With several copies, the nearest count.
Chain A
Amino acid sequence: MKKIMNAPERFVAESLEGLVRAHEDLVVFGGERKFIRRRHLAPGKVAVISGGGAGHEPLHSGFVGHGMLDAACTGHVFTSPTPDQIVAAMDETDTGAGCLLIVKNYDGDVMNFEMAAEMAASRHAIETVIVEDDAATGPAVRSRGRRGVAGTIVVEKLLGAAAERGAELGALKELGEGLNARIRSMGVALRGVAMPNNPRETFDLGPEEMEIGVGIHGEPGLTRTGFADADAIIRRLGEAILAELPPELLGDPDLRPLLLVNGFGGTPPIELYLAYGLARRFFEAHGIVPVRSLTGTFVTSLDMAGLSLTLALLTPDQLALWGAPVATPALSW
């Protein structure tokens, strides 16, 4: 796969520079360009910090700004950032109320954020929320917790809004951990991806194949099956999501569903909107009527073709946090 790129070593840095320059009203580079942070910090607010490997843009840097993240640390492609980046972000954005680290549940991310938290423990009050929303990696497949995938946006938006409203570190941690039971995502890939320094795709799909249950790192999914029409694909994703949400939440009439259709980078809006319409019909047929929607390319796997559905069953308070004002490069209302 061809990429708009100068050299693999400069790929991530040049992309981050473009993001900062395109949105200089909202974000700036932190010291030594180790992270991107809000241009205007809000003193006394908990610093909400996230990060992860590159290749998932606009996640996380595109969500830095008022009402969402204070800083985002970006690693190499599909590689967690290193502890020094995370420590630097804490040092520069903690205005006294402590730091909340939002970490997608990958061993590399968890370990690097953990090392950073250990290193900075003497200077900062720190709590960590691990995001686990992937329906494909539930307890049946893996004992170590689900992956964090597109549902990460929901976690970052809600925690960012709560922090903006003045929530304290402990309350944020509690809110964040409570979200993990409420959010499930399931993805399908129509094409693998190639890393910047390697023309070979991570998996090779024939013209009549697709991977179900993929994550966001170009890794193979749970199963490879024959390519199918959109209704069948959406049904398959939707059923996996329903199967992995706690029945008591699914049956709770007071919860407010949020439906997110997320493109993986190579799938265009015309297909994403089509998927949204079918997903909407699918969930409505199961008695779940989304009251909020988001369709677009938010959590990518480089230029992988495919998409994921995310269903979040929110309390009315949580829904209000979703609707709270946000001003970031990739999300604003």
Chain B
Amino acid sequence: MHLDATDLAALIGLCRAEIDRHGEHLSALDSAIGDGDHGANMRRGLEAVFAERDAIAALPLPAALERIGLVLVMNIGGAAGPLYGTLLMELGRGLGIADTPEAFAATLEHAIAAVARRGRSGPGDKTLLDVLYPVQAEVVRRSAPGRIAACARSAAHSTEAMQARRGRASFLGPRSIGHEDPGASSCALLTAAICGYFEEHRPS
């Protein structure tokens, strides 16, 4: 991964814009099976990161990712904060040890495992992990960004059929079936935004 400050600042801006654009939709998904705040939560987190984007972009990539994670944790709250925060912090820590394309896949796997530990959750629980696992599998396969994005989107969509075992949606029991998980949805949106940038700027 060789992202310079310009890339990083652009990616932060892209992610923030994407979440802003879909905030209402994310909250609507969360209203159906949760408490209706996922859009607001994610917006708050991305706004906080965006406000610090210049300082963050000036850092080496590992430190920048760790910082983004911390900003997310300290600003989002709720379930999404610790989960996205852990993902980014662990990614940064891992890349701080070894920052090669091979290492990236392994680091991502580790970071996702840390998210699962934090959430005491796993595949099929109807959470953002149900997007992270398939994305991670595509990264291992070195798939093209467009393919990864498409996979993320369909993974998010497939949470619709699941019964939630974690998060607020799990309180609904079988009534959680038939609705896409908001965390999975935001995760797919962010993945697609990032992949889109790579597709445009680093044609593989």
Contact = CB atoms under 8 A, between A and B. Distances in A.
A142 B165 contact: yes
A219 B35 contact: yes
Given A111-B79, A198-B27, A218-B35, A84 B171 contact: no
A153 B70 CA distance: 32
A76 B166 CA distance: 21
Given A82-B81, A111-B79, A195 B171 contact: no
B36 A78 contact: yes
A141 B173 contact: yes
Which secondary structure characterizes the binding site on chain A?
loop
A205 interface: no
A184 to B, nearest CB: 15
A82 B77 contact: yes
Contacts of B80: 108
Interface residues of A, number: 39
B36 A198 contact: yes
A79 B171 contact: no
A247 to B, nearest CB: 23
Interface string A107-136: 110011011000000000000000000001
Contacts of A82: 73-77, 81
A65 B74 CA distance: 27
A51 B165 CA distance: 24
Contact of B171 (A77, A114, A147): A147
A3 interface: no
A176 interface: no
B37 A220 contact: no
Contact of A144 (B34, B44, B166, B175): B166
A307 B175 CA distance: 22
Contacts of A107: 79, 119, 166-168
A107 B82 CA distance: 10
Interface in B11-34: 24, 27-28, 31-34
Given A108-B82, A219-B35, A76 B40 contact: yes
Given A195-B40, A219-B171, A78 B165 contact: no
Contact of B34 (A198, A219, A223): A219
A200 B39 CA distance: 14
B168 A219 contact: yes
A171 interface: no
B35 A78 contact: yes
Nearest to B24: A198
Interface in B53-84: 73-83
User: For the complex, would chain B's binding face be called helix, strand, loop or mixed by DSSP majority?
Assistant: helix
Contact of B175 (A77, A78, A195, A222): A222
Contacts of B33: 219-220
Contacts of B171: 136-137, 141-142, 147, 215, 219
A217 B168 contact: yes
Nearest to A136: B171
Nearest to A224: B175
B34 to A, nearest CB: 6
Contacts of B85: 115
A86 to B, nearest CB: 11
A53 interface: yes
Contacts of B185: none
B40 A197 contact: yes
Nearest to A107: B79
Contacts of B44: 76
B170 A144 contact: yes
A295 interface: no
A102 to B, nearest CB: 17
A108 B35 CA distance: 12
A195 B165 contact: no
Contacts of A223: 175
Nearest to B41: A79
Interface in A193-218: 195, 197-198, 200, 202-203, 215, 217-218
A78 B44 CA distance: 14
A144 B172 CA distance: 13
Contacts of B142: none
Interface of B: 24, 27-28, 31-37, 40-41, 44, 73-83, 85, 118-120, 165-168, 170-173, 175
24 contacts: A75-B77, A76-B37, A76-B77, A78-B78, A79-B40, A79-B41, A80-B78, A82-B74, A82-B75, A82-B81, A83-B74, A107-B119, A107-B168, A111-B79, A112-B78, A141-B170, A142-B171, A144-B165, A144-B166, A147-B171, A198-B24, A198-B27, A219-B35, A220-B32
Which 5 pairs across A and B sit closest by C-beta, in order of nearness? Answer: A111-B82, A217-B35, A108-B79, A108-B78, A79-B78
